Structure formats: C-alpha cells, structure tokens
Amino acid sequence: MKKLLVYLKDYKKESILGPSFKLLEVLFELMVPLVVARMIDVGIDGGNKEYIIKMFFVLIALGLTGLISAITAQYFAARAAVGFAKKLRHSLFCHIQSLSFSEIDKIGTSSLITRMTSDINQVQSGVNMTLRLLLRSPFVVFGAMIMAFTIDVKAAWIFVVTIPLLTIVIFGIMLLCIPKYRKVQEKLDKVLEITRENLTGIRVIRAFCREKEEKKEFDKRNEELSVVQKLVGRISGLMNPLTYVMINVAIAILVWQGAIRVNAGVLTQGAVIALYNYMSQILVELIKLANLILNMTKSFACGNRIQAIFEIKPGITKESGNINLQDGSMTDVFVEFKGVHFAYEDSREDALSNISFSVRKGEMIGIIGGTGSGKTSLVHLIPRYYDVTKGEVRINGKNVKDYPLVSLREKVAVVLQKAVLFKGTIRDNLKWGKKDATDEEIYKALTIAQAKDVVEKKEEGLDYVLEQGGKNLSGGQRQRLTIARALLCEPDILILDDSASALDYATDANLRKAIQDMKNRPTTFIVSQRTSSIQNADKIIVLEDGELVGIGKHEQLLNHCKIYQEIYYSQFKKEA
C-alpha cells in the first residue's frame, strides 16, 4: 500500500493544502469551548450582557471561517483522491498490459478486473476520507489535550494517559481487521469469477441445464463472502462502544479530580466545564475517526492487493533488446529454431522438446500434428508470447530476445485460434493492424483475406458496428476479419494458427493463393488440421507429442513419415 502513495506525488499541493485547511477549521472549532467558558465566567458571573453578545458574534465568526476552510479542504481532498485514483488506474492498466501470457494465465482475468475496479474505488474513497479527516482527528484530540494543559496541568494528565490507551485499542482493532478485509476481497473475486463465467458460458450452461447448480455454487460463494463480511463487522463494530466506555471513564476521573481541585480552590466551575467539553469533543471525534479507520483498513487491504499485481514483474520485458529487425545478417536462413525446448509454467512435461529447423525468407511453412502436439506452442515462441526454456529461436540470424519486443511483434503478425474482435466498427478493428491505414489498404487486405464480401454485405460497410467479441458475426466471418487485420500489419512473418478452420475449402484455398501472390510475400507459418491447407507448402513440419517427427515436402512425407501418412489418409481415405 505504501508504494502506491507515489501516485499522490502529482497532487502534493492538494494533499498538503487539503489537510491544512482542515486544521484551520479545527483550530476555530477548538476555540469554541474557550469562548463559551469566557461567556460563563466573565459574562454570567460578571453580569456583563454586552460581553455575552460580543462573544455570540465571535462564535458566529468562528463558524463562518470554519465553513470556508472546510469547503476549501474538501475541494483539495476530492481533487487529490480522484486524481490519485485516476493515476493509479492508469498505471495498473499499463502494468497489466505489460504482463506476458504466462502471468496472465496464472492470475486470471476476474481477479485482475476486481483489482482494477472494486479495489481501486475503495482506495480512492479511503484516500479522500484520509485527507479530509485523518489529520483532523488527531489534531482535535491533541489540540484538546493541549487546551486542557492551558486550563490545568494536573487535570490534563488524564488526557495524556487516555489518548495512548485509545490509540492502542483503535490500532489493535485495525490490525485485526486488515487480513479479514483482504479475505473479503478474495471472496469477492470468486463471486466475480462465477458471474463472468456464467455470462461467457451461458450457452453451454443452458445446454447442460446447469442453471440450478450454478445458482447453488453462486449462493455458496455469495454466502462465504457474506460470512466473512459479517465477521469483520463484528470485530470492527467493537471500536465505537469500546472507545465510548473508555472516554466515559476518563470523564468520571476528570470530574472527580476537578471536584477535588475546585474544593481546594485551584479551579473554577467554568474550567471544569471546559475540561469536560474537551473530553466530549474527543469522544465526538473518535466516533468519526472510527468510521474513517474502518474505511482506511478496507483501503489498506485493497491497496495491498493492487500492490501485489504491481509486484508481479513481467517475464518478458519490452526493453529486452535493441537490435533493429533489419540489422541482422542477411543470411539465407530467415527463421531458425535451434534445439528448442519449452515447458509451460507449473507443467511437469515439456510441451516442445529439442526442435530444430530453419526457414528461408518468403517460404510457406505448414505445421501439422495431433491435438496437443505443440503446434501452437511452437509458433507462439516466434513473437515471444512465451520464452523458450532451452535452445534459441532466431530471426535473421539473431536471437529473438535481442530485438525490442514492440518491433518484433510489429513484424510478426499472428492470427490466433480464437478469432477475437472488439466492440467498435469493422474499420476500428482492422486498424489495429495499421493505425493510419487508408480505406484502400483496408480493402486490399480484406480482398486477400477473402473478407471483402463480409463488409460489402453490410449496409454500413466498414462502419458496421461489431458487438463485444464480434458476437454479431459468424465464426467464419470473424476469422476472415482477423486475418485481414493481421495482413494490414504488413508483416515479415505471418502466422496463421488454425485460423481458417471455420472457412470452407474453396475460401481457404483462395486465401492461401492470395497470400502467395502478395507482392511482399511474408514468410508464412500455417498451423492446420487439414492436409489440404498445407500440402502445397514449401516445407511441412510434423509434430507429435512435442517432438518433430518429420519435415519436408508433401510427397516426401507421404512416403516416409508414418504420422503424416496417418493424418493424410484419415482425410482422404477414399482416394487411398
């Protein structure tokens, strides 16, 4: 949590001015009992009517200046808190974006979302309250103590003893609550997770008639959340009553002491009233403070959760290398795998083991193999979505780790298996490939991707608005648009990761032909289940259980590679 405070840096002025004005307000407030004491001692006892009226106006003036200071303080506090939250959200979002695939796999989307939303909101309101009240309360408490000293030193010692005792109680309760609040947020994560799941998987859930079970599961998690919340409530609810009793004990001692000292003629009755008033003020302040502390405790717990995300260092950083992609020695070999091993985190076995092959510029490479044989893992190593565990991947003779990440990824376009599109127009979506793409360029890419008709069928054309995830398009339409998006990048390396699976054969064939006919033909990797998609490739890589079991042209493999034969004949058995 402490580290998060750097985001207040830009609001130094506000964070100082806010509490300062608050102090000013308190100062005026603290003068009130003094003025009243004077009213009683000088005014009533002296029978001075004018003095009383004068003091009345002093009270009003104090109230007015207090009001102005308070409003100023609230303004600065709000500005600082809101600004702080804005900065924090921005940085957290940036940080999440910098995380690599393995970290995202591990944390999970839901948890990231609660941290970005609910946790930050909590911290924001915590900072706001803190700036407004945190300084105020101790100031009132200590101010009251100092004022007590000006009235009577001996009586004031009661304040000196009471205040640390109160502090211990308050902080003790706070320390008890922080871990509980963290638990609350964790349970909230779980509730969020199931909510999201039920939205994304609504079709499957309904198909399996799982509504009741899901409701039951939700109720369970919801109940768990509620139980922890109530537990925290019970502990934190102690704060007010406990401090109330303590203050009343202090008041009793104070009055008793006062009685003794008045009897001895050291104190006046008015002074006892003033002392009593100061103690009451502490009580009032502590009630406010209790609310604040609860809020702060919650914020602390949330802040720590946010901090935890910041502490996850991205496994693959942007600043990795500084070599220009073009700088590499212009060897014949463009992409090269050298003894590559790769395993997912927390996995016992290698997803890929000892893979070596090389590819020339402009070649079309087919990758085929059984389900889970490591095809996707292999291509994900090229743009460094994951890093190899052993061996190296080279582009243009240089290790991929030596290139700056951004320029590497700009040159390598990947069409992922899952065709993801975003809310917005088709044009906006395609421009992800190239920010300043002209319509002409877009149509060119669409034509190659066989997606021109998708756009042309829509009345709005490129301005057709897609819903989240492109839900208002069919799977095949989505796939073609994602291919067009990738082509707009004008990549040196194009990776199609089973991204034509929803296309019919004719479209698929036309797509491949169009890519081959491109002027600056990218080096293309095609991952596919269909032998027809890759049998014309310059090279076909056959994978089985993470190992390379065959590499070569279609005819060669058909003659020599057993696995390839099996795959091929499973699709063309009639001809066999």
Partner 1 sequence: MEEKRQNNTIKKVLKYVKKYWGLLLFSIVLAFVSVLLSLYIPILVGDTIDEILGMGQVNFIQVKRLLIGSLILAVITALCQWIMNIINNKITFQVIRDMRKEAFAKIQELPLKYVDTHPYGEIVSKIIADVDQFADGLLMGFTQLFTGVVTIIGTLVFMFSIHWKIAIVVVVLTPISLFVARFIAKRTYNMFRVQSEYRGEQTSLIDEMVGNQKVVQAYTQEEEILEKFDDINEKLSEASLKATFFSSLTNPCTRFVNSIVYAAVGLSGALSAMNGGITVGALSCFLSYANQYTKPFNEISGVITELQNAMACATRIFEFIEEENQVLEGAKIIDEADGNVRLSQVCFSYVPEVKLLENFNLSVKPGQRVAIVGPTGCGKTTVINLLMRFYDVNSGTICIEETDIRDMTRRSLRKNFGMVLQETWLKAGTIADNLKMGKPNATDEEMLKAAKASHAHSFIKRLPNGYDTYISEGGGSLSQGQKQLLCIARVMLCLPPMLILDEATSSIDTRTELKIQEAFARLMKGRTSFIVAHRLSTIQEADIILVMKDGNIIEQGDHDSLMKKNGFYANLYNSQFITVQQ
Q: Which of positions 217-276 make contact with partner 1 (CB under 8 A)?
A: 218-219, 222-223, 225-226, 229-230, 233-234, 237-238, 240-242, 244-245, 248-249, 251-252, 255-256, 258-260, 262-265, 268-270, 272-273, 276
Residue number with CB closer to partner 1 (209 or 329): 209
- Of the two residues 61 and 330, which places its CB atom closer to partner 1 in the complex? 61
What is the Cα–Cα distance from 94 to 91, expressed in whole angstroms? 5
Q: For residue 364, is it left (φ>0), alpha (ψ between -120 and 50) or beta?
A: beta
| Closest to partner 1 by CB, 156 or 267 | 267
* Least distance in angstroms from the C-beta of 241 to partner 1: 4
Q: CA distances (Å), 464 to each of 110, 298, 431, 457, in order? A: 30, 44, 14, 10
Report in angstroms how near the CB of residue 329 gets to partner 1 at its nearest: 25
Nearer to partner 1, 197 or 441 (CB): 197
- CB of 140 within 8 A of CB of 281? yes
Would you call 516 helix, strand, or coil by DSSP?
A: helix
- If one asks whether residue 40 binds partner 1 (CB under 8 A), the answer comes out as yes
Report the nearest approach of partner 1 to the CB of residue 520 (Å): 19
Interface segment toward partner 1; rule CB under 8 A; list 153-161, 165-173, 333-341, 504-512: 504-512
Q: Are strands 547-552 and 539-544 parallel, antiparallel or unpaired?
A: antiparallel
* Contacting residue, 24, 27, 32, 323, with partner 1 by CB under 8 A: 32
Length of the chain, in residues: 576
CB-nearer residue toward partner 1: 178 or 343 = 343
Residue 210 beta carbon to partner 1: minimum distance, rounded to whole angstroms: 6
Q: For partner 1, which is the closer residue by CB, 338 or 554? A: 554
Q: Give the Cα separation of 393 and 507 in Å (integer).
A: 32
Determine phi and psi for 464, rounding to 5 degrees. Answer: -60, 130
In order, the DSSP letters of 380-444 are HTTTTSS--SEEEEEETTEEGGGS-HHHHHHHEEEE-SS----SEEHHHHHTTT-TT--HHHHHH
For partner 1, the binding residue among 1, 163, 176, 280 (CB under 8 A) is 280
Shortest Cβ distance from residue 41 to partner 1 (Å)?
A: 9
Among 136, 394, 398, 512, binds partner 1 (CB under 8 A): 512
Residue 405 CB, nearest distance to partner 1 (Å)? 8
Nearer to partner 1, 248 or 559 (CB): 248
Q: Does 213 bind partner 1 (CB under 8 A)?
A: yes
* Shorter beta-carbon distance to partner 1: residue 222 or 358: 222
Applying CB under 8 A, does 27 fall inside the site for partner 1? no
Query: Binding partner 1 by CB under 8 A: which of 6, 64, 160, 465?
Result: 64
CA 195 to chain centroid? 18
Is there binding between residue 514 and partner 1 (CB under 8 A)?
Answer: no
Q: How far apart are CA 236 and CA 375, in angstroms?
A: 55
The residues that bridge with 524 in the sheet, in sequence order, are 364, 494
Contact window for partner 1 (CB under 8 A) among 88-96, 169-177, 320-328, 394-402: 88-96
Phi, psi angles (nearest 5°) of residue 568? -60, -50
Q: By C-beta, is 87 or 338 nearer to partner 1?
A: 87
CA distance 139 to 152: 20
Identity of the residue, 12 or 106, whose beta carbon is nearer to partner 1 in the bound complex: 106
Rule CB under 8 A: is residue 536 a binding residue for partner 1?
yes
| CA separation for the pair 125, 131 (Å, rounded) | 10
Provide the residue type at 494 as one letter: L
In the bound state with partner 1, the residue whose beta carbon lies nearer, of 178 and 414, is 414
> Based on CB atoms, which residue is closest to partner 1, 93 or 331?
93
Tell me the sheet residues that pair with 359.
335
The residue written with tokens 């946010």 in the block is 306
CB atoms < 10 A from the CB of 183, how many?
Answer: 18
Considering the rule CB under 8 A, would residue 556 count as an interface residue with partner 1?
no
Check binding of 124 to partner 1 (CB under 8 A): yes
Q: Which of residues 352-381 bind partner 1 (CB under 8 A)?
A: 368-373, 375-377
Is residue 465 involved in binding partner 1 (CB under 8 A)?
Answer: no
Q: Residue 576 interacts with partner 1 (CB under 8 A)? A: no
Residue pair 132/77 in contact by the 8 Å Cβ criterion: yes
The size of the interface with partner 1 (CB under 8 A), counted in residues, is 190
**Interface with partner 1 includes 410 (CB under 8 A)?**
yes
Interface pick for partner 1 out of 26, 174, 192, 395 (rule CB under 8 A): 192
Residues 290-329: x where in contact with partner 1 by CB under 8 A, - otherwise, as a string: ----------------------------------------
Q: CA separation (Å) from 259 to 39, 275, 432?
A: 21, 12, 80
Q: Which is nearer to partner 1, 125 or 358 (CB)?
A: 125
* Nearest residue to 48 (alpha-carbon basis) of 38, 59, 33: 38
Distances (CA, A) of 522 to 368, 489, 527, 548: 20, 11, 15, 24
Site for partner 1 contains 86 (CB under 8 A): yes
**Among the candidate windows 7-15, 69-77, 142-150, 162-170, which touches partner 1 by CB under 8 A?**
69-77
**CA gap 522, 398 in Å, rounded:** 18
Nearest in space to 394 (alpha carbons), one of 450, 347, 300, 329: 329
Residue from 167, 324, 474, 559 touching partner 1 (CB under 8 A): that is 474
Told to check if 416 binds partner 1 by CB under 8 A, we report: yes
- Residue 339 falls in which region: left (phi positive, over 0), alpha (psi -120 to 50) or beta: left
- The first and second tokens of residue 419, run together, are 């065709």
User: Which residues, 141 to 180, sit near partner 1 by CB under 8 A?
Assistant: none
Contact range with partner 1 by CB under 8 A, out of 8-16, 305-313, 439-447, 475-483: 475-483
DSSP code for 43 = I
Residue 337 in contact with partner 1, rule: CB under 8 A: no
The C-alpha atoms of residue 435 and residue 59 are separated, in whole angstroms, by: 65
How many C-alpha atoms does 382 have within 13 Å on its Cβ side? Answer: 28
Minimum Å distance from CB 332 to partner 1? 26
